[in-house]
Amino acid sequence: MVVLVTGGSGSGKSEYAENRLLELRADWSRKGIELPRSFYIATMYPYDEESRERVKKHQHMRATKQFDTLECYTNLKQLKLQQDCFLLVECMSNLIANERYMDEGCRLEGEAFVGYVMEGVKHCIPVASHVVIVTNEVNSDGIAYDRETMEYMRLIGQVNQRLAALADEVVEIVYGIPVKLK
């Protein structure tokens, strides 16, 4: 199963995503199925004090939830995952920013860039039993930004559309309330 969780900044989507994966794990446990490892793919590169604090907050949130954290700032295709694992990817907007702006990121543009990001996601799906992907809703504030920011937001929107089409379940978190879209 692939679950896409979206929402605005501070909406509670990270906590919801973790809990959703824990529910999927509990379903297996109730059925007596041996639980595989659960991986938390952390994509946020801690480039300043604020981002380091967010990383600490997220690490604390998952400390007792039996996730193995893998830092992966770019190129999801490089991941070597255990077969049938449970996987949480946190979050696509960070991954897209890293791919776009980090030296290690891909150097593609437009459709080729979107395809590259999606190849990374599609690399993970057949290996995992369940995948929960967190992304951000970035195109609903109605503000016109500079050209580069608008391009970044357009790329997130295109990736989000493809993820939603691929997902079995799509949930938007609004003020901490999950709204099932698919």
φ, ψ for residue 18 (rounded to 5)?
A: -60, -45
**Domain with residues 2-180, CATH architecture:** 3-Layer(aba) Sandwich (3.40)
Neighbours of 149 (CB within 10 A): 12
Residue 69 confidence class, pLDDT cut points 50, 70, 90: confident
- Rounded Cα distance between 165 and 157, Å, is 12
Average pLDDT, the chain: 92
pTM for this entry? 0.92
Any idea where the domains of the chain sit in the sequence? 2-180
Average pLDDT over residues 76-97: 94
* CB of 64 closer than 8 Å to CB of 94: no
